[in-house]
Structure 1
Amino acid sequence: MPLTDTFIKALRHDPSKSAGSKHSDGHGLYLHVKESGKYWRRRTALQASRRRFAPGVYPTVGLAQARRRRDEAREQLASSIDPSLAKQVQKLALAYAQGEHFEAVVREFHGVKSGAWSDTYAEKWLRNMSK
């Protein structure tokens, strides 16, 4: 039986189940209720290996959004793409696009610290980091 928002909001962790309880929504998507929170999970099988895909944490990721992510993951699996790997690649691409990579951090650090360094040391430090 598919989950509903009302049911999910009412769910509480059962202390007698140390590993938490799982509530299925269909097509492999389930809500794992633990003492620390409610986690969306989806079991998949890719190239004869079982994987677990994590669409997010409830309530940050609601039921409708978790279902959309599940459907996107199903489409990726149909194209032989690992959804977890695709998520990691997307996250790295976003970080790189926002300038959160090594060179940006080095240049920012150099800008902050170079005022306290001698000019020769600042040039040498930046040259070494670029190598």
Structure 2
Amino acid sequence: MSNPKQDVCCGAIVLYGKQRFLVIAVRGGHCLIGPITVQRVPRHRADVILSGYPDACDEIVRCGDALSVPQWLLTDTEAKVSKRGMRQVISGTSTEFAARQVELLRPGTYRCALARGYRPGDKGRKIGGAPHAE
């Protein structure tokens, strides 16, 4: 931004370098921003279709590629996204970050913890009885 006292709010569409980004969250002097791109056929689970501002035509916000950058590096474009659109983007971002935390766990831990709890040495099969009965 040319003026360091000019604030960028949540839902603003800004320029970072030459690319357009959507401001997802603002905390202190840093902003969490997601890149805005055109829709592609293979979509990621965290892609949200952008709606709620006049120039939105077949554009998505890639919530999985969110960056945290200093606020003074952003240039405001005076375009804003509606509250409904921002709710979808924030929901997509939080879902993506929660899914990444689950993916960091070792294989089998999440399923066992939900079903009946993890037991050291448990191979996941019932001893005795029919093999399909659980």
Normalising by structure 2, what TM-score? 0.33
Q: Higher relative contact order at CA 8 Å, sep ≥6: structure 1 or structure 2?
A: 2
* TM-score (structure 1 length as normaliser): 0.33
* Bigger Rg, structure 1 or 2: 1
Task: From the two aligned structures, give the one with the greater helix fraction.
Answer: 1
- The structure with more strand, counted as a fraction of residues: 2
